[in-house]
Amino acid sequence: MHEFSMAIEVINLAQREAVKNKANSIQKITIEVGDLSGVDADAFESALGLLVKDSILDQALVTLIRTPGLGRCNSCNDEFEMNHRMATCPKCQCFPSEISGGEEFRVVSLTVA
């Protein structure tokens, strides 16, 4: 389960930012997880919940933002939501020519104290 290693890396990133800013704690962290990122958002959230104990994020408010996958159809130029990479255009059933959203996995913001 790579969600555990990703959760560890988020904790490490928070620790590095706290040291860099001479902060004693992290008050809030916001993480964006796209539906097409390859990260199971529920598994990541569970892993992070288990791993934050006694870490810099132990008392932090953790917010997960889930972003839907977005595709653009080359045939009809429709933009549509995708919940998996093999989703087809709901109008013409073609595969998307471009994925324009939902591949993100990033820390959006971090509030230190």
Q: Check residue 113 and give its pLDDT.
A: 86
Q: Check residue 1 and give its pLDDT.
A: 62
Domains of the chain plus CATH, in order, are 2-112 (3.30.2320.80)
State how far the Cα of 84 lies from the Cα of 88, in Å rounded to an integer. 9
Q: Strand runs (DSSP E) across the chain, as ranges?
A: 26-34, 61-67, 69-73, 79-82, 96-101, 105-112
Picking from 55, 53, 38, the residue whose alpha carbon sits closest to that of residue 1 is: 38
Report the chain (113 residues): mean pLDDT per 10 consecutive residues.
93 96 95 96 96 94 96 90 87 85 96 91
For residue 82, is it left (φ>0), alpha (ψ between -120 and 50) or beta?
Answer: beta
